[in-house]
Amino acid sequence: MVATEQVLATGQQLDTLCINTIRTLAIDAVQQANSGHPGAPMALAPVAYCLWQQFLRYDPADPTWLNRDRFVLSNGHASMLLYAMLHLAEVRQVDDKGHVTNELSVPMEEIKRFRQLGSRTPGHPESHITSGVETTTGPLGQGVGNSLGMAIAGKWQAANFNRPGLEIFDFNVYAMCSDGDLMEGVGSEAASLAAHLKLSNLCWIYDNNHITLDGPASWSFSEDVATRFIGYGWNVTRVGDGNDLDMLARAFEVFQKTTDRPTLIIVDTHIGYGSPHKQDTNAAHGEPLGEEEVKLVKRFYHWPEDAKFLVPDGVREHFREGIGMRGAELHGKWSKTFAEYSQKYPELAEQLSLMQHHELPSGWDKNLPTFPADAKGIATRESSGKVLNAVAQNIPWMIGGSADLATSNKTTLKFPGTGDFEAGSYGGRNLHFGVREHAMGASVNGMTISGLRAFGATFFNFSDYMRASIRLAALMQLPALFIFTHDSIGVGEDGPTHQPIEQLASLRAMPNLIVLRPGDANEVTEAWRIIAKQQHSPVALVLTRQNLPTLDRSKYAPASGVAKGAYMLADAEGGKPQVILLGTGSEVSLCIDAYEKLKADGIKARVVSMPSWEIFERQDAAYKESVLPSDVTARVSVEMAATFGWERYTGSKGRNIGMRRFGASAPLKDLLKYFGFTVDKVVEEARAAIADK
């Protein structure tokens, strides 16, 4: 390796030396991995350097500091930019219990293991793996959507926790984004809502590099981004040369002085060398440069051509004197304020501690409703709305709303003091997302990352619009809550465009997502007990539009069985059934009616309510065998959805009553008869299953 003195002898200023260190670390990591995107980190290095060194209120010694500024790399393919910053700033790793360690989050050996199995430097940043990565990014548009939620959380926390002379929350959220982030619909939705809410703590940094993975951006993208964002209501400023640190600093200063709207900083960059005169084809298309090109690039940077993973003397020290020292001072000053705050407002300080660790306050489950037996019953969306209000009253940091369907979803918080979260009045707990399912899902994740117990709601069919956000919540191990109503052909006359079919099977296939489809009002209450306790898994709560009978729990098993995912709701005398009927949601009561008819006919049946496959699968083998004994092969599943997956529980000899096509537009009673969701059909299939065993 060439001596460090030779690097310093080129006469580069320290800023340039640091910027080129970021660039060459990215180049070397991508080249060694033979995989990745070197161009964006090369071009954006000055932008990240200026932000982190001069403006980001962040303490590398404690990446869990409550009032830290958030940095989101929405263009997650530029992951080496973030890894290089985390390494050079010497950000510490946080252990599984939330304790900050002395270990570096991204030591040099992890940069050398870029994109390798088990490393902390995967191809796109993952927040549950690498401390300092605020959110998992990669699918374009999701990061800026998360940043919207973080900014909402910041405003809400400031409105609810700050006290005169004791400002605990005033952090800013910076999101670096690309053409792709702004092309994706979720980016447009997030930008629109951020402007509507006048989130002045939100800054997007747009890498205007005129290139996409396919080639020139002009092939597919020719809009005037500045005019578009001005139309939304953003403050827009432009940096004509992404290498100009003075211009970049002025742009960040403009953002910090803007108090009535979010800010977009358009930064003109050039993929590759970072020079207006140089653009590398491989860098532009997300490929390693190749050994010869690496040498040419390093020569352009006046860098030792054969040096790999070089951090020259003075670079780490410069970061320590910049973001390290500034962050420590800001954090120290805040800690003194927080100590005084904790003495004056111990209850609020305790709430903040619980929020940060996704823990619950004592008494969170007091006064949860129980529902009396009622043959007419109540829709689970209705009962859920009642339970939600009870839970939210006990968890003061529960906040959420619906994509323009709060009245239908029954998700409005109605107890005293809730209010609406709106521009200039950020203390309310009811959010109005508008018809923006994409942005709702992404911002719910951002709020959850920030410690709130956030929820978003819409019709189940439109979960498809939110799928990327649900998936990332599961990947990040976030306890986000997605409430879905109108869960089946029970939607009725609205027809197949609004009747979900494949969504249950699809979401059940997603790792680390809990799907809950309760069968009556008391199962809803028990479902909420599960939801509130989650710390590392998101939940999809799936609810009916139509009324369901509230089962008589003095006659049937208690709803507390929901805690195990599936339970025996009704059983044959002596516990030796000839046939097992399995149902979820609205079909549980149908199974009960069929059970009673079979019983009257002398046929021994068992009804298993199965609100959550995922939780049932976590139970031990003995419990699962007690619910679904292997020697009872006559089984019938009943669910108003695609039957895909039910064979896991019904077996090769089982019968599955479900949907094998899209629905239809008609009154519910006609649909139930047409598609075979009747007592007679269930009895018929049960008899057939017994005969086939």
Q: What is the pLDDT of residues 329-377, one digit of tens each?
A: 999 999 999 999 999 999 999 999 999 999 999 999 999 999 999 999 9
Q: What's the pLDDT score for residue 217?
A: 83
Confidence check: pLDDT of 8 > 90:
no
C-alpha Rg value of the chain to the nearest Å = 28
CA 499 vs. chain centroid, Å, equals: 25
Strands (DSSP E) along 179-329, which ranges? 202-208, 235-239, 263-268
Q: What is the pLDDT of residues 553-580, one digit of tens each?
A: 999 999 999 999 999 999 999 999 999 9
Q: What's the pLDDT score for residue 581?
A: 98
Write the CB contacts of 197 (distance below 8 Å, at least 6 apart in sequence). 152, 155, 421, 422, 423
Q: What is the pLDDT of residues 363-412, one digit of tens each?
A: 999 999 999 999 999 999 999 999 999 999 999 999 999 999 999 999 99
d(CA 441, CA 190): 10
Q: What is the pLDDT of residues 140-194, one digit of tens each?
A: 999 999 999 999 999 999 999 999 999 999 999 999 999 999 999 999 999 999 9
Q: What's the pLDDT score for residue 272?
A: 55
Q: Give percent of the chain with pLDDT exceeding 90.
A: 92
DSSP-derived secondary structure for 643-659: -TTTHHHH-TT-EEEEE
- The tokens describing 163, both together, are 């006290």
CA torsion sign for 277, 281, 287, 288 is negative
Confidence check: pLDDT of 1 > 70:
no
Residue from 627, 442, 594, 441 nearest 72 by CA: 442
Pair 120, 132: CB distance under 8 Å: no
* pLDDT tier, 270 (very low <50, low <70, confident <90, very high otherwise): confident
- Please tell me whether residue 267 adopts helix, strand or coil conformation: strand
Q: What's the pLDDT score for residue 275?
A: 46
Q: What is the pLDDT of residues 432-490, one digit of tens each?
A: 999 999 999 999 999 999 999 999 999 999 999 999 999 999 999 999 999 999 999 99
Alpha-carbon distances, residue 339 vs 157, 343, 349, 446, 513 (angstroms): 17, 6, 9, 27, 38
Q: What's the pLDDT score for residue 144?
A: 98
DSSP-derived secondary structure for 537-550: --EEEE--SSEEEE
Pair 639, 566: CB distance under 8 Å: no
467-476 helix and 142-161 helix, angle to the nearest 10 degrees: 70
Q: Give percent of the chain with pLDDT exceeding 70.
A: 96
Confidence check: pLDDT of 280 > 90:
no
Alpha-carbon distances, residue 546 vs 380, 491, 518, 550 (angstroms): 8, 8, 13, 12
* pLDDT tier, 11 (very low <50, low <70, confident <90, very high otherwise): very low
Look over the chain and give the mean of its residue pLDDT values, rounded to a whole number: 95
Q: What are the strands of the beta sheet with 263-268, ordered from one edge?
A: 70-73, 173-177, 202-208, 263-268, 235-239
Alpha-carbon distances, residue 673 vs 183, 621, 670 (angstroms): 45, 37, 5
* pLDDT tier, 214 (very low <50, low <70, confident <90, very high otherwise): confident
Q: What is the pLDDT of residues 39-64, one digit of tens each?
A: 999 999 999 999 999 999 999 999 99
Q: What's the pLDDT score for residue 273?
A: 52
Write the CB contacts of 56 (distance below 8 Å, at least 6 apart in sequence). 69, 71, 174, 323, 327
Instruction: Report H helices in 210-324.
Output: 225-232, 245-257, 281-284, 291-300, 315-319
Q: What's the pLDDT score for residue 216?
A: 83
Q: What's the pLDDT score for residue 653?
A: 86
Confidence check: pLDDT of 6 > 60:
no
Which residue among 126, 437, 523, 526 is the active-site one?
437
- The tokens describing 65, both together, are 């500091």
Active site residue 614: no
d(CA 488, CA 379): 13
Confidence check: pLDDT of 211 > 90:
no
Token pair 């619910």: residue: 627
Over residues 614-634, the mean pLDDT reads 97
d(CA 267, CA 243): 9
For residues 590-603, b (16+ Cβ closer than 10 Å) or e, as one string?
A: bbbbbbebbeeeeb
Over residues 495-499, the mean pLDDT reads 96
Token pair 């940094």: residue: 205
CA 210 vs. chain centroid, Å, equals: 29
Residue 661 CB-density burial (10 A; 0-12 exposed, 13-18 middle, 19+ buried): exposed
Spell out the domains of the chain, with CATH numbers in brackets: 4-331 (3.40.50.970), 374-549 (3.40.50.970), 564-692 (3.40.50.920)
Confidence check: pLDDT of 3 > 80:
no
* pLDDT tier, 526 (very low <50, low <70, confident <90, very high otherwise): very high
DSSP-derived secondary structure for 409-461: HT----STT--B-BTTBTT-SEEE--S-HHHHHHHHHHHHHTT-EEEEEEEGG
